[in-house]
A and B are shown apart, each in its own frame.
Chain A
Amino acid sequence: MSAVLEANGLGKRYGRNWALSDCTVTIPSGHVVGLVGPNGAGKSTLLNLAVGLLKPTAGGLEVLGGRPSDDAAQLGRVGFVAQDTPTYAALSVADHLQMGARTNPSWDRQLAQGRIARLGLDPKQKSGKLSGGQRAQLALTMAVAKRPELLLLDEPVASLDPLARREFLQVLMETVAEDQVSVVLSSHLMADLERVCDYLVVLVASRVQLAGPVDDLLASHRRLIGPRRDPATMPGNQIVIESSHTDRQSTFTVQTDDPILDPSWTVEEVGLEDLVLAYMGQASTSARPFRPTIGLVQ
């Protein structure tokens, strides 16, 4: 399975502030990848680096086997929707499609016009007068109509109402089903990511904390509830991600590949949101960056 994105020690610095540091992750193709983390974690930075809008300060990055640049061929393979889905407010919907057709050799005119018609957008309407949801749909159409191999979406639904969000994801999933395009979608809304993502990358404090297929992540983490216990006494094959204690009881979120045999534990599965929260919490309290031991399952 080839990788759509391969980062190696990737870093980006603004002045003295590292927006992204020591980012090493390989994202395989054929997935809808959720890029999740708190605001300011570096999600936007990573996506902008991947599409060539930013130049790395350190490390290497390869997207679809090539370096992100403003080479026309490379740009044609990657569709991008930036945060808050910017468009040219004074230009109409039809103008935007014209722009797409004239600046992308691989533009599929029929697909673009068909989508706009199905979405019920008025081609003559200026994009500044569209609602947030409609603008997001327009931006998505622009990214999809050039038939890319990879779609990068930077928090495209963050400022949309629930209905517009749902409609956006419906159209996005339909595109994935139809064209087999890989998607990397950044968001801090776990509910959306749980629905559509089958691969997850957790980015906290400008570092990758966790990466892997959702099914594997869920299968290899458990919540253990039992009598009060020191985390250091936990067996070696159970890595404690998060722990909380009362005077009588301890709750641990552990990562393990083996079954939990100790009968004193109540074992529960961990939901995706809780899992991400556990890694986010652990990242903010630990002194050194946590190196995830979950490898890429190919």
Chain B
Amino acid sequence: MIWLAWRQVRTQVFLVVGVLLAIGVVLATTGPHLVHIYDTVIKPCEAKPNCGNVGTFSNTDRFLQSVSLLLLIAPALVGMFWGAPLVAREFENNSHRLIWTQSVSRMRWLAAKLGIGALVTVVTVGLLSLMTTWWFSPIDAFSNNSLTPSTFDRRDVVPVAYALFAFALGATAGLLLRRTLPAMVVTLFGFIGLRYVVEDYLRLHYMTPLKISAPFNPLNPGLTVGRPGGLQSSDQVVSQETVTGTGRVLSQNGNIGPTSGEVSVSNSGTVTLRGVGPCQGHVNNSLKATGRVSQSVQQSGSGTTHVHARSGGAIEQLNQIVSACSHKYGLRDIVTYQPLSRYWPFQMYESAIFIVAGLVLAGFSLWWLRRRMA
């Protein structure tokens, strides 16, 4: 039965491996070039203040984009084009009436097909992920953004885990629905669904996130990279909150200012921090309509931010009042985040979720098949 399962996918596998090898050749020839650019252009650039963004570099390279995109959609493709037809195609061709009347049990048949399919998935998607990760490694080393969603899900182990889940989902859908096209649709949406749920709600909580806090600065609300407090560009932010001295959450996105709902100005010009208390000082209402504030932000080489504000009108007055007010009430910004050092544990956790989900589906398929045709 293993021979038959392999024989049925043999042509497709050779095709895919051929494509991967072609991609590999291109990467192998351009990879060293990339490292060369990194060493000669990017690394020295880091030392200079006027560096410009390496992100720009990577975004304009079309081949880079395509390879990254390929790894993103590869698991869905595996699920739709290897998983869904695995069983459904046999029903559509009636070939199940041929193979299920040979002297093999149906469970052995399905187990062999799932096993060979899983093996092939691991090898092909693993190869693709290996090549992509290797090729991106100089860029990743510079950008330090591996926990970012668009990077995390396209490196190392997780794509393989996604693909295994998608394959199992496709096979199960094909078994239950008995038609390839509906199974493909179910697989696509089911896969996207789980990816969405895991990425948006589960991933940042695999381990208890770390917290840092700093006093609230209305002119530069929210903790950003470079502020004293320790947040780094490689850290992945889970949430930001502005809290009062008593610990009550005032704002979820770090912006308390004249245009946010947290500050109210009465007709007489009294300023109140909503839900907290009144502020000292009055706003000259006749100046309310006018005034602009412009800020320029400079990043110095050491990573600190200097803010230069040019004054003008009521807005400026309000900012100064709110600033003193927040200091009076002890407002603080608290950022919850995951550090880059947790990248590998997170890869493992996420892979485990998808692999276990895949195993559950596979087990269900085997059980369902056995029960239905006793």
* Complex contacts, A143 vs chain B, CB 8 Å: 101
Chain B positions 87 through 114: 1 when the CB is less than 8 Å from some CB of chain A, otherwise 0: 0000001111111111111110000000
- In the complex, how many angstroms separate the beta carbon of A215 from the nearest chain B beta carbon? 32
A88 touching B98, Cβ below 8 Å: yes
B100 touching A105, Cβ below 8 Å: no
The answer to the question of B141 belonging to the interface, with a C-beta cut-off of 8 Å to chain A, is no
- In the complex, how many angstroms separate the beta carbon of B268 from the nearest chain A beta carbon? 76
The answer to the question of B57 belonging to the interface, with a C-beta cut-off of 8 Å to chain A, is no
Which parts of A44-87 form the interface with B (CB within 8 Å)? 48, 51-55, 69-73, 75-76, 78-80, 82-84, 86-87
The answer to the question of B373 belonging to the interface, with a C-beta cut-off of 8 Å to chain A, is yes
Task: Out of B1, B96, B372, name the residue touching A103 (CB < 8 Å).
Answer: B1
A76 touching B103, Cβ below 8 Å: yes
- In the complex, how many angstroms separate the beta carbon of A155 from the nearest chain B beta carbon? 12
A-B CB contacts (within 8 Å), total count: 85
* Complex contacts, A52 vs chain B, CB 8 Å: 100-101, 373
| Identity of the chain B residue whose Cβ is nearest the Cβ of A78 in the assembled complex | B101
B104 touching A91, Cβ below 8 Å: no
* Complex contacts, B107 vs chain A, CB 8 Å: 70
* Complex contacts, A73 vs chain B, CB 8 Å: 103
Which parts of B1-48 form the interface with A (CB within 8 Å)? 1, 3-4, 7-8, 11
The answer to the question of B374 belonging to the interface, with a C-beta cut-off of 8 Å to chain A, is yes
Which applies to chain A's interface (DSSP): helix, strand, loop or mixed? loop
The answer to the question of A99 belonging to the interface, with a C-beta cut-off of 8 Å to chain B, is yes
B98 touching A139, Cβ below 8 Å: yes
A142 touching B98, Cβ below 8 Å: yes
B102 touching A103, Cβ below 8 Å: yes
Known contacts: A55-B372, A69-B374, A91-B7. The answer to whether A100 contacts B102 by CB under 8 A is yes
* Complex contacts, B374 vs chain A, CB 8 Å: 55, 69
CA distance A90 to B8 in the complex (A): 8
CA distance A87 to B8 in the complex (A): 12
B373 touching A88, Cβ below 8 Å: no
Task: Out of B95, B100, B105, B106, name the residue touching A88 (CB < 8 Å).
Answer: B95
CA distance A207 to B104 in the complex (A): 32
A102 touching B4, Cβ below 8 Å: yes
Categorize the interface residue count of chain A: 35 or more
| Identity of the chain B residue whose Cβ is nearest the Cβ of A100 in the assembled complex | B102
CA distance A84 to B97 in the complex (A): 11
CA distance A54 to B372 in the complex (A): 9
Which parts of B292-312 form the interface with A (CB within 8 Å)? none
Which parts of B59-102 form the interface with A (CB within 8 Å)? 93-102
CA distance A48 to B101 in the complex (A): 10
CA distance A91 to B98 in the complex (A): 13
A86 touching B93, Cβ below 8 Å: yes
Task: Out of A82, A83, A87, A103, name the residue touching B103 (CB < 8 Å).
Answer: A103
- In the complex, how many angstroms separate the beta carbon of A99 from the nearest chain B beta carbon? 5
- In the complex, how many angstroms separate the beta carbon of B111 from the nearest chain A beta carbon? 13
A95 touching B7, Cβ below 8 Å: yes
* Complex contacts, A51 vs chain B, CB 8 Å: 101
CA distance A88 to B374 in the complex (A): 25
CA distance A170 to B97 in the complex (A): 24
The answer to the question of A24 belonging to the interface, with a C-beta cut-off of 8 Å to chain B, is no
Which parts of A89-126 form the interface with B (CB within 8 Å)? 89-91, 95, 98-100, 102-106
Known: A55-B374, A139-B98, A146-B102. 10 other contacts (CB 8 A): A52-B100, A53-B100, A70-B104, A70-B107, A76-B103, A82-B97, A86-B97, A86-B98, A95-B7, A100-B102
Q: List 9 A-B contacts (CB under 8 A).
A: A53-B96, A53-B100, A53-B101, A69-B374, A75-B101, A82-B98, A90-B8, A99-B102, A146-B102
Instruction: Give residues in A with beta carbon < 8 Å to B.
Output: 48, 51-55, 69-73, 75-76, 78-80, 82-84, 86-91, 95, 98-100, 102-106, 139, 142-143, 146
Instruction: Give residues in B with beta carbon < 8 Å to A.
Output: 1, 3-4, 7-8, 11, 93-107, 372-374
